[in-house]
């Protein structure tokens, strides 16, 4: 049976059990800090999920697919612009451990200047951008979105410093507050009849609140940048920016293809299918972006520690996301009409496909973070650029089969992108494929058992039964079979993970009571 001490060591082997391992206080403190930070982030994010889901579903009933389509079109360029705004400095601050205060102030200045430049660019291209999609309403929405670049840039470097200092409790509480503010504001303005503007106003109010709070807690000066002291951060940040822009490009080009080839209504269906499919992993992505890089950077010169973190984090993420994403795919045909109404039936097909894809995507997100932490950002950049070539071609071909065809393009083409990423990561930290697959075994077996169980329930229930009843029974069957499989086949591992969390807390108490040298 796995012991609590193995919480960050993965499944125990006979050699591990026979070896008396004495962890250093520094490692125990770092492990406890990681678990605590993950717990805070998860509690905050998932604690608000039901609230934001309820608000979002009500907003979907108040607005139309075209409202969502207009905002989706306006947002197509925003990930590119937002990543260029920061010049990659937010992640650079976390990854480079030897930055001085003077360099931070210069980075802060460059971040704000880049935001102002891109806002002016947004003003210049707003009308041509809207004309390209033949949707005039997109232009003013796009301009307001671009103004948010300046708001975000003001908090970019200070927020990254807080993450580097591992002040995740504060960041989590701030994130929860801003999320609730955005949801309430969006619902209020949608109810007041603001249409698609409600979606934008809620986000802007939340962003302003977050920036003002971060600047109050961690103010950061502005200083005129000097190339002599900024060469290394600029080079590192530039590579991160290129990688992020490429990633956001291929993740948004499916929307561009849907909007251009199929129209605003089809984009509304596809865009919301993407959003719903990613809800189960949205908070995991936030966890990977916010919490994990700081800890990977702290052990960047320790391959064994990197393997530990990748192994256990992959296992935990898969245990949480695989049943949620695959389960959503299985019940999509009942979920959409029951929860959203029949006007959204057009999103069932892409939702079913995208939900399966996001299960895989949830664990892949860790790989670039590991490579960036060890300084392999150059490889990450070129991998993302390769994806930018491969995936848009697949989206265009898939669009001839409608929104579901675009969704299938992800499933067909994404493996071509991630296989080299896996190979490079495993080579860099010395991890074997078998070691990685063992971490996925509990979630895979539970999910594989869940699929026929849900399909059997769908087949057994008569179509004349109320759709709500069918949805409830299908979900209940999936949950029971998944948890039952974990308990029957992987009981020791699950108990070991739980005990590990408890033991780390006890270790923290003991370490805190020891005198420091």
For residue 445, what pLDDT is reported?
A: 92
How many helical (H) and strand (E) elements, i.e. helices and strands, does the chain have? 21, 0
Q: How far apart, in whole angstroms, are the C-alpha atoms of residue 257 and residue 372?
A: 30
Q: Contact, 311 vs 436, CB < 8 A?
A: yes
DSSP helix/strand/coil, 363: helix
Q: How far apart, in whole angstroms, are the C-alpha atoms of residue 350 and residue 254?
A: 12
Per DSSP, helices labelled H in 218-343 are: 227-262, 264-290, 292-298, 303-335
Token digits for 387?
């994806």
Q: How far apart, in whole angstroms, are the C-alpha atoms of residue 185 and residue 201?
A: 7
For residue 49, what pLDDT is reported?
A: 65
**Predicted model pTM:** 0.66
Q: Which residues contact 123 (CB under 8 A, 6 or more apart)?
A: 143, 146
Low-confidence ranges of the chain (pLDDT < 70): 1-51, 53, 282-290, 496-517
Q: How far is CA 124 from CA 113, 151, 252, 286, in A?
A: 17, 19, 21, 32
For residue 503, what pLDDT is reported?
A: 53
Radius of gyration of the chain (CA): 23
Q: Contact, 350 vs 317, CB < 8 A?
A: no
Q: Contact, 264 vs 341, CB < 8 A?
A: no
Q: Contact, 258 vs 346, CB < 8 A?
A: no
Summarize pLDDT for 193-216 with one digit per residue, the tens.
Answer: 888 888 888 888 888 998 889 888
Q: Which residues contact 99 (CB under 8 A, 6 or more apart)?
A: 92, 93, 107, 233
Complete DSSP assignment for 338-354: III-GGGGGGHHHHHHH
- Give CA 12 to chain center in angstroms: 29
Q: How far apart, in whole angstroms, are the C-alpha atoms of residue 382 and residue 61?
A: 42
- Positive or negative: CA dihedral 194, 200, 205, 208: negative
């Amino acid at each position: 049976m796995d012991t609590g001490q193995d919480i960050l060591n993965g499944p125990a082997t006979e050699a591990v059990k026979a070896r008396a391992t004495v962890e250093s206080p520094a490692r125990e403190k770092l492990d406890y800090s990681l678990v605590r930070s993950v717990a805070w982030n998860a509690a905050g994010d998932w604690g608000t999920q039901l609230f934001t889901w309820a608000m979002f579903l009500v907003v979907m009933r108040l607005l139309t697919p075209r409202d969502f389509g207009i905002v989706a079109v306006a947002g197509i360029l925003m990930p590119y612009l937002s990543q260029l705004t920061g010049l990659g400095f937010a992640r650079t601050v976390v990854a480079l451990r030897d930055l001085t205060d003077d360099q931070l102030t210069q980075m802060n200045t460059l971040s704000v200047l880049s935001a102002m430049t891109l806002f002016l660019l947004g003003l210049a291209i707003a009308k041509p951008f809207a004309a390209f999609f033949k949707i005039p309403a997109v232009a003013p929405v796009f301009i307001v979105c671009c103004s948010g670049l300046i708001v975000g840039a003001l908090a970019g470097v200070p927020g990254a410093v807080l993450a580097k200092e591992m002040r995740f409790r504060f960041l989590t509480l701030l994130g929860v507050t801003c999320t609730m503010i955005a949801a309430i504001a969006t619902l209020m303005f949608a109810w007041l009849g603001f249409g698609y503007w409600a979606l934008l106003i809620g986000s802007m109010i939340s962003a302003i609140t977050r920036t003002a709070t971060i600047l109050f807690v961690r103010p950061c000066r502005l200083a005129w940048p000097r190339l002599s002291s900024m060469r290394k951060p600029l080079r590192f940040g530039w590579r991160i920016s290129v990688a992020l822009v490429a990633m956001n490009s291929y993740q948004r080009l499916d929307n561009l293809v849907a909007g251009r080839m199929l129209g605003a209504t089809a984009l509304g269906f596809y865009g919301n299918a993407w959003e719903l499919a990613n809800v189960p992993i949205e908070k995991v992505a936030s966890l990977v972006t916010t919490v994990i890089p700081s800890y990977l950077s702290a052990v960047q010169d320790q391959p064994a520690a990197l393997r530990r973190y990748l192994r256990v984090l992959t296992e935990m993420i898969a245990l949480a996301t695989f049943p949620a994403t695959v389960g959503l795919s299985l019940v999509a045909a009942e979920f959409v009409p029951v929860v959203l109404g029949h006007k959204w039936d057009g999103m069932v097909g892409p939702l079913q496909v995208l939900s399966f894809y996001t299960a895989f995507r949830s664990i892949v997100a860790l790989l670039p973070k590991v490579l960036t932490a060890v300084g392999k950002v150059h490889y990450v950049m070129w991998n993302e650029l390769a994806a930018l070539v491969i995936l848009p071609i697949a989206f265009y071909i898939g669009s001839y089969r409608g929104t579901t065809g675009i969704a299938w393009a992800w499933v067909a083409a994404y493996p071509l992108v991630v296989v080299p990423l896996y190979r490079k990561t495993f080579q860099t930290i010395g991890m074997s494929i078998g070691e990685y697959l063992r971490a996925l075994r509990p979630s895979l077996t539970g999910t594989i058992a869940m699929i026929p169980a849900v399909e059997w329930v769908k087949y057994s229930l008569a179509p004349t039964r109320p759709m709500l009843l069918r949805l409830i029974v299908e979900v209940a069957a999936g949950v029971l079979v998944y948890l039952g499989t974990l308990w029957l086949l992987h009981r020791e591992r699950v108990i070991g993970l739980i005990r590990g969390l408890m033991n780390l807390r006890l270790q923290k108490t003991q370490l805190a009571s020891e005198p420091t040298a």
